[in-house]
């Protein structure tokens, strides 16, 4: 026997033992979900086949046996529920589901039967969830967990019922799966699933590389002033307030998709807050500290550096919620005229429907999180990362399980996913206010919240405001964002962009198929009626927003030669030290230098 044949024999023998274990694990998991379903007999044949495999023919028999076992399981799961919730005969076109795009799902009778039965089960359980007499919150949770488990058990997630993975295995002589096992071992050491080629990026290198300097820092934030790139700039500065749940550089990725760079190229004078990545030393930081020592301090410094000009503010996600509170404080202190305009990007002000993340807004879950964080004083960023990944499990978990482990492929470089895997901790006191007062109690819209000693009344805020929501945002429902916009009394512009919470915001001009909805008047009525009457325009909302903001940015003045001022000199180059602290999911902290 040749060395190659010998190697293949070893591979088949090893994989026979390996997948006998996989089948057993799968059997136990399915049985735990199925309750009294008699799945033991269904998997017996697969277990026997797995222990005897010694070549390609046996391998193929095992694959067929496993497919049949899966098919029998799904049929058994469908039968009892279909008696009460009949499934429509015409399923949605399976080809529309990217998991089943491979032609073998439609040409192989066994795979086709498995696919169709699985989709029928999914449909039946979703119908069941819709039919339950539950509160809105409980129905959302039921639907989420049904979808989560059904997605986890999709036949595409198992090697023997993934035709692409099996075909690649034979084409590579088993090497694809060996690479997949290596990828799995590396991710186990890393403590999380790899979503992108992380060696392709570095913060301060090819991410967050826009020229500027930190001109102020305190325990809450570093304030970055970016170097002008035009001979003349607008007199009124723009202060960007990113979310503190993730790093600011989602708005300063690479040169071609950096929102910060786009603003500079249009002659705006740009300042940006880089929030601290807190640890035990910051356990006393609360919501008020982020408003007082973050936003309000940033406003005063931006004004001082720009010669006392009023400031344009922009907040993204929870950064926008903080901005609304900051405006209320400025109004109470009779300083609201120091702000020229405010922009809210995918921001919740009305928390009556928090979107898919509402599944985790539960008093029992929060109590466990808070108790676990009492010793450290912060909510780990790793926990937040896993929570957000579960909300989009097919996109952020199972697609990578299939590509990385079953197919042995290396993830492609993707800057947004690199950022997504770079979360930040949150102080416990801040988190408690955000989750309990806002998400659970929705106290912001009722005027029941006091921040920095001032009562927040959204209906009294008259600063010109621009609201952006996105059509497919799973974290900030656009209809609720619309309702929040109606609560502010001033001049309002509402725009609905295409995409999700991140890709809908990071949407530079020139991207294919970009569009947004806008209207000529103030938003009013219901979200659906507004959308039906709005104009649909091709292109990026960046351009629409920039035209709106330039009208509120003052005259053109000669750009300064550098960053900061005599009172606020350069401390260190952008992006600064606060953003460089990266969390290690395996349990120890990483500190990476910028650049």
Asked whether residue 351 falls in the same domain as residue 498, the answer is yes
Asked whether residue 273 falls in the same domain as residue 154, the answer is no
Residue 410, domain member (yes or no): no
Tell me the C-alpha distance between 315 and 468, whole Å. 10
CB-based contact 215:225 (threshold 8 Å): yes
Residue 198, domain member (yes or no): no
Average pLDDT score over residue span 237-247: 96
CB-based contact 544:516 (threshold 8 Å): yes
Query: Is the pLDDT at 49 greater than 60, yes or no?
Result: no
Q: Quick: pLDDT tens for 415-430.
A: 999 999 999 999 999 9
CB-based contact 439:351 (threshold 8 Å): yes
Asked whether residue 220 falls in the same domain as residue 111, the answer is no
Identify the domain containing residue 307 by its residue range: 212-380+425-591
Which residue reads 């086949």 in tokens? Answer: 49
Assess whether the previous peptide bond of 575 is cis (omega < 30° from 0): yes
CB-based contact 355:473 (threshold 8 Å): yes
Query: Is the pLDDT at 201 greater than 80, yes or no?
Result: yes
Residue 188, domain member (yes or no): no
Q: Has this prediction a pTM greater than 0.85?
A: yes
Phi, psi of 550 (to 5 degrees): -60, -30
Residue 295, domain member (yes or no): yes
Query: Is the pLDDT at 230 greater than 60, yes or no?
Result: yes
Tell me the C-alpha distance between 263 and 107, whole Å. 52
Residue 393, domain member (yes or no): no
Radius of gyration from C-alpha coordinates of the chain: 27
Last residue of a domain, one of 130, 161, 192: 161
Phi, psi of 481 (to 5 degrees): -60, -40
Asked whether residue 109 falls in the same domain as residue 41, the answer is yes
244 counts as catalytic = no
Asked whether residue 344 falls in the same domain as residue 231, the answer is yes
CB-based contact 460:331 (threshold 8 Å): yes
Choose between 462 and 355: higher pLDDT. Answer: 462
Last residue of a domain, one of 161, 195, 229: 161
Query: Considering its fold, how many domains does the chain have in total?
Result: 2
DSSP character at residue 533: H
pLDDT band at residue 132 using 50, 70 and 90 as cut-offs: confident
Q: Quick: pLDDT tens for 545-565.
A: 999 999 999 999 999 999 999
Q: 351-360, 439-448, 452-461, 500-509: lowest mean pLDDT where?
A: 351-360
Residue 184, domain member (yes or no): no
Q: Which structure tokens are listed for 156?
A: 């595409």
Cα–Cα distances in Å, from 279 out to 189, 220, 376, 433, 510?
A: 23, 11, 7, 18, 40
Asked whether residue 120 falls in the same domain as residue 15, the answer is yes
Percent pLDDT > 70 in the chain is 85
Cα–Cα distances in Å, from 130 out to 25, 188, 392, 434, 478?
A: 31, 37, 20, 30, 22
CB-based contact 534:517 (threshold 8 Å): yes
Of 84-93, 117-126, 394-403, 455-464, highest mean pLDDT: 455-464
Please report, for the domain that includes residue 339, its CATH number: 3.40.50.1820
Q: Which structure tokens are listed for 214?
A: 């930190």
Asked whether residue 137 falls in the same domain as residue 222, the answer is no
Write down the pLDDT at residue 82: 64
Asked whether residue 130 falls in the same domain as residue 244, the answer is no
Last residue of a domain, one of 127, 161, 195: 161
Query: What is the sign of the dihedral through the CA atoms of 163, 103, 399 and 85?
Result: negative
Asked whether residue 340 falls in the same domain as residue 271, the answer is yes
Tell me the C-alpha distance between 167 and 60, whole Å. 11
Residue 392, domain member (yes or no): no
Average pLDDT score over residue span 579-591: 73
Q: 48-57, 180-189, 333-342, 446-455: lowest mean pLDDT where?
A: 48-57
Q: Out of 317, 452, 481, 546, which one is annotated catalytic?
A: 317
Query: What is the sign of the dihedral through the CA atoms of 465, 468, 473 and 479?
Result: positive
Query: Is the pLDDT at 51 greater than 50, yes or no?
Result: no
CB-based contact 346:469 (threshold 8 Å): yes
Asked whether residue 519 falls in the same domain as residue 431, the answer is yes
Residue 200, domain member (yes or no): no
Asked whether residue 105 falls in the same domain as residue 237, the answer is no
Q: 113-122, 432-441, 496-505: lowest mean pLDDT where?
A: 113-122
Mean pLDDT across the chain, nearest whole number? 86
Q: Quick: pLDDT tens for 485-523.
A: 999 988 899 999 999 999 999 999 998 899 999 998 889
Write down the pLDDT at residue 87: 63
Asked whether residue 150 falls in the same domain as residue 292, the answer is no
pLDDT band at residue 576 using 50, 70 and 90 as cut-offs: very high
């Amino acid at each position: 026997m040749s060395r190659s044949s010998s190697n293949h024999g070893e591979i088949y023998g090893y994989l026979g033992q390996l997948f006998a274990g996989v089948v057993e694990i799968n059997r136990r998991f399915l049985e735990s979900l199925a309750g009294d379903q008699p799945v033991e007999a269904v998997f017996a044949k697969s277990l026997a086949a797995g222990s005897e495999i010694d070549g390609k023919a046996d391998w193929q028999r095992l694959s067929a046996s496993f497919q049949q076992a899966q098919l029998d399981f799904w049929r058994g799961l469908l039968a009892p529920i279909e008696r009460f919730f009949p499934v429509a005969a015409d399923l949605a076109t399976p080809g529309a589901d990217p998991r089943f795009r491979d032609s073998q799902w439609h040409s192989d009778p066994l795979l086709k039967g498995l696919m169709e039965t699985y989709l029928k089960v999914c449909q039946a359980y979703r119908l069941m969830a819709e039919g339950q007499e539950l509160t809105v919150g409980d129905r959302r949770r039921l639907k989420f967990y049904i979808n989560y488990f059904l997605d986890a058990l999709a036949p595409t997630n198992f090697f023997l019922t993934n035709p692409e993975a099996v075909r690649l295995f034979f084409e590579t002589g088993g090497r694809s799966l060996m690479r997949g096992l290596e990828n799995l071992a590396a991710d186990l050491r890393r403590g999380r699933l790899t979503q992108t080629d992380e060696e392709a990026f570095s913060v301060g290198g090819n991410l967050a590389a826009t020229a500027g300097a930190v001109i102020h820092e305190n325990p809450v934030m570093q304030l970055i002033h970016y170097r002008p790139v035009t001979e003349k700039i607008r007199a009124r500065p723009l202060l960007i307030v990113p979310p503190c749940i993730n790093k600011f550089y989602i708005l300063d990725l690479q040169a071609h998709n950096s929102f910060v760079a786009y603003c500079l190229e249009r002659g705006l004078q740009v300042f940006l807050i880089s929030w601290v990545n807190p640890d035990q030393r910051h356990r006393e930081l609360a919501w008020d500290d982020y408003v007082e020592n973050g936003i309000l301090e940033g406003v005063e410094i931006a004004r001082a550096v720009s010669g006392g000009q009023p400031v344009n503010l922009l907040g993204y996600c929870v950064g926008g919620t903080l901005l609304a509170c900051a405006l209320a404080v400025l109004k109470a202190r009779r300083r609201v005229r120091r702000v020229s305009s405010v922009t809210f990007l995918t921001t919740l002000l009305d928390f009556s429907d928090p979107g898919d993340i509402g599944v985790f807004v539960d008093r029992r879950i929060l109590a466990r999180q808070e108790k676990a964080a009492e010793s450290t004083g912060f909510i780990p960023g790793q926990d937040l990362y896993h929570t957000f990944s579960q909300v989009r499990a097919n996109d952020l978990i199972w697609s990578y399980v299939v590509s990385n482990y079953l197919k042995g492929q290396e993830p492609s470089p993707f800057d947004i996913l690199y950022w997504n895997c770079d979360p930040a901790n949150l102080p416990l006191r801040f988190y408690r206010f955000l989750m309990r007062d806002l998400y659970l109690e929705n106290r912001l819209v009722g005027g029941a919240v006091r921040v920095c000693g001032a009562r927040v009344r959204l209906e009294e805020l008259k600063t010109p405001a621009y609201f952006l929501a996105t059509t497919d945002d799973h974290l900030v429902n656009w209809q609720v964002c619309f309702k929040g916009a109606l609560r502010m009394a001033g001049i309002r512009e509402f725009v609905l962009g295409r995409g999700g919470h991140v890709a809908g915001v990071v949407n530079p001009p020139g991207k294919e198929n970009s569009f947004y909805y806008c209207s000529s008047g103030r938003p009013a009525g219901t979200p659906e009626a507004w959308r039906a009457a709005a104009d649909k325009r091709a292109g990026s909302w960046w351009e629409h927003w920039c035209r709106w903001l330039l009208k509120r940015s003052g005259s053109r003045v000669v750009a300064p030669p550098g960053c900061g001022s005599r009172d606020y000199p350069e401390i260190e180059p952008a992006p600064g030290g606060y953003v460089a602290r990266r969390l290690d999911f395996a349990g120890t902290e990483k500190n990476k230098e910028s650049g």
